[in-house]
Amino acid sequence: MEVIYFSKERPGRACRLLEAVGRGAGERPMTAFSDIEEFKREVSGRRGRKSVAVIVARDEQTLIDVYFARSLLSGVLSVLILPDHERLTTALAFRIRPDYTLFADAAGEEVAFTVRNILREMSRGYTPSRDHAAAGGQTPHGPVPGNGHEAANF
């Protein structure tokens, strides 16, 4: 299991979230990207393997870039960290269909806790990805609701 981290900001500015994701990943390998094209290549090469993509969208343009790359996330668990609580931002995030959604003002421990729990559940064989849900997969709490697609958790 590997963690793939994306933020357009240089590591110095995005340090708080990058460090939080690193704490959540623990001993697992983690790769960080600041270029969307490199991130897309990495994610597309990871389809079908147990990986978690953590995407930090600090502004609207980054969120739009991620929206156009959303099809690459279909085989990878994704955590989308949104820049604000605005309705338009939240609506666009819903269209991206991440497995988990957090906000940039979340505490570092909340981000670390989320990544740690995802990796723990993956090690137990649970995969809440859209592909698994569409195939009628089970969550730890029972069948996937609705049409087999889990909605973003906001």
Write out pLDDT tens, residues 32-82: 888 989 998 888 887 767 788 889 888 888 888 998 888 888 778 889 998
Counting the structural domains of the chain, the total is 1
Q: Look up residue 122 and give its two tokens.
A: 């993956």
Asked if residue 3 lies in contact with residue 21, where contact means CB atoms within 8 angstroms, the answer is yes
Between CA 43 and CA 29 the distance in angstroms is 14
Residue 28 maps to which CATH number? 3.40.50.2300
pLDDT digits (tens, 9 = 90+) for 125-146: 766 544 444 444 444 443 333 3
**Residue among 22, 32, 97 nearest 67 (CA):** 97
Spatial contact of 4 and 14, defined as CB atoms under 8 Å apart? no
- Output the pTM of the full model: 0.75
Is residue 93 domain-resident?
A: yes
The whole domain housing 36 covers 2-129
